């Protein structure tokens, strides 16, 4: 019978067999999942733990944030990236002042700190600016290219006088009509929507320009040409220019407007109608009576 | 019987799972050594470029990536004798093989030499339902085999259909789809002692491994050592192990008989130990280094230092002539071979057309056996080494690894066994739909 339970005192030959624990551990280590975990997960975990411990202190976190900020500012503040002045092209002096005020940039400033998109929107929001291009030119110049809105007419509204461009957009307020005698005057509700037509009419009315005071938009559909001496020409909705030319032709032949006529009604171009002033109408009636005799 | 069927099916499912994972271990629990091989299944020709070894009769679908051998402990006559010791030895082998393979194995296919295997030839006959043979008919034919009483506590290890006969035609390998009336089936059944299997199962389970297959070592040694012609024409393979000598007879690529003699190299060693009054370890060394079975005149003058470390000068400085050693070994080897001869005669081996006998296993390496064996077993004897398989280390290509290599082949291409076929409809568990359908068909 073999000795079943070995006494501990006898010097045993080393048993080559692995213990159960050793065997299981080796098998565990050969499991692909565990191997991957050990090879990748463990180092990652250690690094993460060290980082977490290191960063758990507020002072260290602030120090790191400051360091990053320092490095950033050294790059940002290099002279190569500094913008020293602004060049505004294509704007009148007053508008340039407005633009400087709106952009509110203190030079010199780093080009990283310039928010060109926002500044562009700000500038484009100015009424007098039609289009704006911005770029930082090499050499540290912020170049602002402006195309200004050109005022073509004066719009009289309830709030006073405004300069408007061809599209009817208000460009600037105007203190007095006499400040811009070169621009025609338009008025009435919806006048700013038909500036183009008004300009055509003014062009057509050039022979009468000395007497013309302005155009009034009536009912947001047609124009009335207002002249000195309370005379006015009511123009139709369509074909206004032809109607006006007809009136001008009549005026040149028969001095129509030199006579005591208050209103030339051209709303129906095939049937021009005249309204005489009160005195003239009385006189006309007397002449008729005189000619035909009293009945 | 039914639960065996279930457990064998479960083992087949396990083997399939192992194949899916691609790694399976081979465990040969022998009396003198425990060998563990780790196989990787990568599909055929996966290693063609790196290896230069071409396809080996289709056996190159796997590669041995780990191999380890350890001295067996706690195993006698191919059966587990001291479970703790055996478990430790298995752990040693598996751990070393895993380390070499650098991969974890969970499934193991094992073989056992002992357990007093007994062979039975069964025959079953059924009438074919319908005009041609279907899977169900094959299943019924096998189920119709009358099971002999093979004793209390014995388990079926192999149940392989070896022959099908349809009407007057016999020798069919696959009768399915053929037209006939009577289907007969011959089945070879191998039973072993159930306790031996459960001991092995317990040991393997204690090592956190799952058993994916179980085979008789005599059978797998035949698979690896017999060349294809021998398997086809008929041959006996004698696996001379340490504690048991297995023998298996093959014909037409099927094993038709297997048996084991509970004698082996260990008896030779113990004879030497007793005869020369030396410890077993010394006797084992003398046997392997100087042993032989045929003495010549030269051997009388060949004096062997026995050696020893008892401290007694007289005892430690003894010498023995090689002729004396041979004189001790030869009778025992003759006894083993004669016992094998008796078993072969009992099996009716002399009636087979081919009388080829192939010796393999560690015991077949005794010098002079090729002279001695023909005197006892007949003229057609050869000493074989197992088939070469890809990746097997040189140290594990010897005759002693015949069953391990055979298990590799068994793992790659298991023979169809009874449990690989369909279950006949009337054997299905209750409430089976197919059974209901069959009842319906039979009654209307």
pLDDT in tens, B321-332: 999 999 999 999
Residues of chain A neighbouring B95 (CB-CB closer than 8 A): 18, 22-23, 26
User: What domain count does chain B have?
Assistant: 2
Could you give the CA distance from residue A32 to residue A41 in angstroms, rounded to a whole number?
13
Min Cα distance A3 → chain B (Å) is 11
Assigned domain for B51 exists: no
Tell me which residues of chain A have a C-beta less than 8 Å from any C-beta of chain B.
2, 15-18, 20, 22-24, 26-27, 30-32
Min Cα distance A56 → chain B (Å) is 41
Min Cα distance B111 → chain A (Å) is 21
Return the CATH number at B287. 3.30.420.40
| Interface probe, candidates A1, A12, A18, A27, chain B, greatest B C-beta count within 10 A | A27
Residues of chain A neighbouring B91 (CB-CB closer than 8 A): 17-18, 20, 23
What's this model's pTM, rounded to 2 decimal places?
0.66
Same domain, B162 and B302: no
With cut-offs at 50, 70 and 90, classify the pLDDT of residue B269: very high
Say what the pLDDT of residue A8 is.
Answer: 46
Assigned domain for B37 exists: no
Assigned domain for B359 exists: yes
Say what the pLDDT of residue A66 is.
Answer: 95
Inter-chain touch B103–A31, beta carbons under 8 Å? no
Residues of chain B neighbouring A36 (CB-CB closer than 8 A): none
Say what the pLDDT of residue B383 is.
Answer: 93
**Pairing mode, if any, of strands B303-305 and B254-261?**
unpaired
Return the CATH number at B179. 3.30.1490
Could you give the CA distance from residue B424 to residue B435 in angstroms, rounded to a whole number?
10
Q: Which of B70, B88, B208 is facing A27, going by the closest CB pair? A: B208
Could you give the CA distance from residue B265 to residue B242 in angstroms, rounded to a whole number?
4
Same domain, B292 and B164: no
Which residue of chain B has the CA closest to A19?
B88
Point out the domain boundary residue: B345, B362, B383. B383
Same domain, B185 and B266: no
Residues of chain A neighbouring B89 (CB-CB closer than 8 A): 17
Assigned domain for B88 exists: no
With cut-offs at 50, 70 and 90, classify the pLDDT of residue B361: very high
The residues with which B257 forms a beta bridge, in sequence order, are: B249
Assigned domain for B256 exists: yes
Could you give the CA distance from residue B102 to residue B270 in angstroms, rounded to a whole number?
38
Which residue of chain A has the CA closest to B83?
A4
Could you give the CA distance from residue B201 to residue B45 in angstroms, rounded to a whole number?
34
Of the ranges A226-240, A268-282, B275-289, B418-432, the best mean pLDDT one: B275-289
Mutual angle of helices B83-101 and B194-206, in 10-degree steps:
50
Inter-chain touch A17–B82, beta carbons under 8 Å? no
- Please provide residue B125's backbone torsions phi and psi, each rounded to the nearest 5 degrees: -135, 135
Q: Which of A2, A18, A30 is facing B92, going by the closest CB pair? A: A18
pLDDT tens for B63-85 read 899 999 998 888 888 888 899 88
User: What is the DSSP track for chain A?
Assistant: ---SS--TTS-PPPP-SPPHHHHHHHHHHTSHHHHHIIIIIHHHHHHHHHHHHHHTSHHHHHHHHHHHHHHHHHHHTSGGGEE-EEEEES--HHHHHHHHHHH---SSEEGGG--HHHHHHHHHTSTTEEEEEEEEETTTEEEEEEEEPPP-EEEEETTEEEEE-TTS-EEEEES-GGG-TTS-EEESTTGGGGHHHHHHHHHHTGGGTTTEEEEEEETTTEEEEEEGGG-EEE--SSSHHHHHHHHHHHHHHH-GGGSSEEEEE-SSTTS-EEEE-HHHHHHHHHHHHHHH---
Same domain, B173 and B234: no
Give the residue, A100 or B304, on which the prediction is more confident: B304
CATH 3.10.20.310 in chain A, residue ranges: 79-148
B192 touches B154 (CB < 8 A): yes
Which residue of chain B has the CA closest to A16?
B92
What is the residue-averaged pLDDT of chain B?
A: 87
For the ranges A151-160, B33-42, B393-402, the lowest mean pLDDT is seen at A151-160
Helix (H) or strand (E) holding B249: strand B245-251
Assigned domain for B329 exists: yes
Min Cα distance B183 → chain A (Å) is 50
Could you give the CA distance from residue B416 to residue B412 in angstroms, rounded to a whole number?
12
Inter-chain touch A15–B88, beta carbons under 8 Å? yes
Cβ burial, residue B191 (10 Å; 0-12/13-18/19+): buried
Inter-chain touch B99–A26, beta carbons under 8 Å? yes
Point out the domain boundary residue: B342, B359, B383. B383
Same domain, B251 and B353: yes
Point out the domain boundary residue: B358, B383, B408. B383
Inter-chain touch A16–B99, beta carbons under 8 Å? no
- Please provide residue A243's backbone torsions phi and psi, each rounded to the nearest 5 degrees: -60, -40
Residues of chain B neighbouring A32 (CB-CB closer than 8 A): 104
Assigned domain for B170 exists: yes
Same domain, B244 and B306: yes
Residues of chain B neighbouring A20 (CB-CB closer than 8 A): 91
Same domain, B319 and B375: yes
CATH topology of domain A79-148: Ubiquitin-like (UB roll) (3.10.20)
Per-residue pLDDT of chain A in tens (295 residues, 90 and over written 9): 555 555 444 445 666 788 889 899 988 888 888 889 999 999 999 999 999 999 999 999 999 999 999 999 998 888 888 888 888 888 778 788 888 888 877 878 888 888 888 888 888 888 778 888 888 888 888 888 888 888 888 888 888 888 888 888 888 888 888 888 888 888 888 888 888 888 888 888 888 877 888 888 888 888 888 888 888 888 888 888 888 888 888 888 888 888 888 888 888 888 888 888 888 888 888 998 988 876 5
B352 touches B234 (CB < 8 A): yes
Min Cα distance A8 → chain B (Å) is 17
Pick from A117, A110, A119, A108: which is nearest to A76 by CA? Answer: A110
Same domain, B188 and B276: no
Same domain, B241 and B293: yes
DSSP letter at B103 equals: S
Q: Which of A15, A24, A30 is facing B102, going by the closest CB pair? A: A30
**Pairing mode, if any, of strands B245-251 and B235-240?**
antiparallel
CATH 3.40.50.11690 in chain A, residue ranges: 153-292
Assigned domain for B258 exists: yes
Q: Has residue B61 got a pLDDT over 80? A: no
Which residue of chain A has the CA closest to B93?
A17
Of the ranges A155-164, B17-26, B402-411, the best mean pLDDT one: B402-411
Inter-chain touch A26–B98, beta carbons under 8 Å? yes
Q: Has residue B246 got a pLDDT over 90? A: yes
With cut-offs at 50, 70 and 90, classify the pLDDT of residue B47: low
With cut-offs at 50, 70 and 90, classify the pLDDT of residue B215: very high
- Which range marks the domain in which residue B358 is found? 227-383
CATH topology of domain A153-292: Rossmann fold (3.40.50)
């Amino acid at each position: 019978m073999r000795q079943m339970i070995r006494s501990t005192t006898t010097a045993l030959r080393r048993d080559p067999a692995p213990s159960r624990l050793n065997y299981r551990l080796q098998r565990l280590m050969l499991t692909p999942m565990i191997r991957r975990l050990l090879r990748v997960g463990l180092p990652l975990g250690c690094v993460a733990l060290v980082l977490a411990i290191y960063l758990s202190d507020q002072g260290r976190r602030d120090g790191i944030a400051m360091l990053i900020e320092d490095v950033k500012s050294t790059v940002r503040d290099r002279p190569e990236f500094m913008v020293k002045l602004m060049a505004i092209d294509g704007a009148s002096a007053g508008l340039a002042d407005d633009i400087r005020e709106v952009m509110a940039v203190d030079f010199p400033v780093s080009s990283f700190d310039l928010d060109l998109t926002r500044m562009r929107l700000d500038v484009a929001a100015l009424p007098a600016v039609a289009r704006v291009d911005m770029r930082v030119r090499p050499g540290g110049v912020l170049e602002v290219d402006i195309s200004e809105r050109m005022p073509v007419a004066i719009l009289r509204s309830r709030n006073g006088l405004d300069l408007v461009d061809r599209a009817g957009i208000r460009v600037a307020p105007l203190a007095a009509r006499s400040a811009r005698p070169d621009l025609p005057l338009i008025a009435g509700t919806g006048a700013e929507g038909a500036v183009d037509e008004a300009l055509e009419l003014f062009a057509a009315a050039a022979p009468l320009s000395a007497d013309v005071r302005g155009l009034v938009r009536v009912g947001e559909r047609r124009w009335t040409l207002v002249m000195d001496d309370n005379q006015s020409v009511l123009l139709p909705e369509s074909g206004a220019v032809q109607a006006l030319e007809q009136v001008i032709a009549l005026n040149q032949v028969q001095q129509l407007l030199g006579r005591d006529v208050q209103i030339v009604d051209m709303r129906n171009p095939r049937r021009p109608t005249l309204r005489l002033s009160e005195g003239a109408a009385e006189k006309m009636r007397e002449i008729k009576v005189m000619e035909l005799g009293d009945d | 019987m039914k639960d065996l069927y279930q457990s064998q099916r479960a083992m087949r499912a396990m083997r399939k799972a192992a194949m899916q994972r691609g790694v399976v271990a081979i465990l040969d629990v022998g009396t003198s050594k425990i060998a563990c091989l780790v196989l990787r299944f990568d599909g055929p020709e996966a290693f063609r470029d790196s290896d230069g070894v071409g396809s080996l009769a289709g056996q190159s679908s796997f590669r041995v990536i780990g191999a380890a051998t350890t001295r067996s402990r706690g195993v006698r006559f191919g059966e587990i004798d001291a479970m703790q010791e055996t478990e430790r030895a298995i752990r040693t082998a598996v751990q070393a093989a895993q380390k070499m393979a650098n991969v974890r194995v969970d499934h193991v296919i094992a073989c056992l030499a002992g357990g007093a295997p007994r062979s039975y030839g069964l025959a079953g006959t059924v009438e074919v339902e319908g005009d041609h043979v279907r899977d169900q008919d094959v299943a019924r034919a096998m189920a119709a085999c009358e099971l002999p009483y093979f004793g209390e506590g014995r388990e079926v290890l192999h149940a392989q259909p070896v022959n099908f006969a349809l009407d007057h035609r016999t020798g069919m390998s696959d009768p399915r789809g053929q037209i006939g009336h009577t289907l007969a089936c011959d089945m070879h059944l191998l039973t072993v002692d159930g306790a031996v299997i459960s001991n092995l199962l317990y040991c393997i389970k204690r090592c956190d491994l799952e058993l994916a297959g179980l085979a008789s070592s005599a059978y797998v040694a035949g698979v690896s050592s017999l060349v294809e012609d021998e398997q086809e024409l008929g041959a006996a393979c004698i696996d001379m192990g340490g504690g048991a000598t297995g023998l298996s007879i093959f014909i037409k690529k099927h094993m038709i008989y297997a048996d084991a003699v509970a004698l082996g190299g260990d008896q030779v060693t113990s004879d030497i130990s007793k005869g020369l009054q030396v410890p077993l370890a010394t006797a084992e060394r003398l046997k392997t280094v100087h042993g032989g079975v045929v003495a010549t005149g030269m051997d009388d003058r060949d004096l062997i230092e026995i050696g020893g470390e008892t401290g007694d000068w007289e005892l430690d400085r003894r010498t023995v002539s090689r002729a004396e050693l041979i004189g001790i070994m030869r009778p025992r080897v003759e006894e083993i071979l004669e016992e094998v001869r008796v078993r072969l005669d009992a099996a009716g081996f002399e009636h087979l057309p081919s009388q080829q006998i192939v010796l393999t296993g560690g015991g077949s390496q005794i010098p002079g056996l090729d002279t001695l064996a023909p005197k006892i077993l007949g003229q057609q004897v050869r000493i074989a080494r197992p088939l070469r398989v890809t990746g097997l280390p040189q140290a594990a290509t010897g005759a002693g690894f015949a069953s391990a290599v055979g298990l590799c082949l068994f793992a790659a291409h298991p023979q169809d066994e009874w449990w690989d076929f369909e279950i006949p409809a009337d054997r299905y568990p209750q409430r089976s739909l197919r059974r209901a359908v069959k009842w319906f068909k039979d009654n209307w």
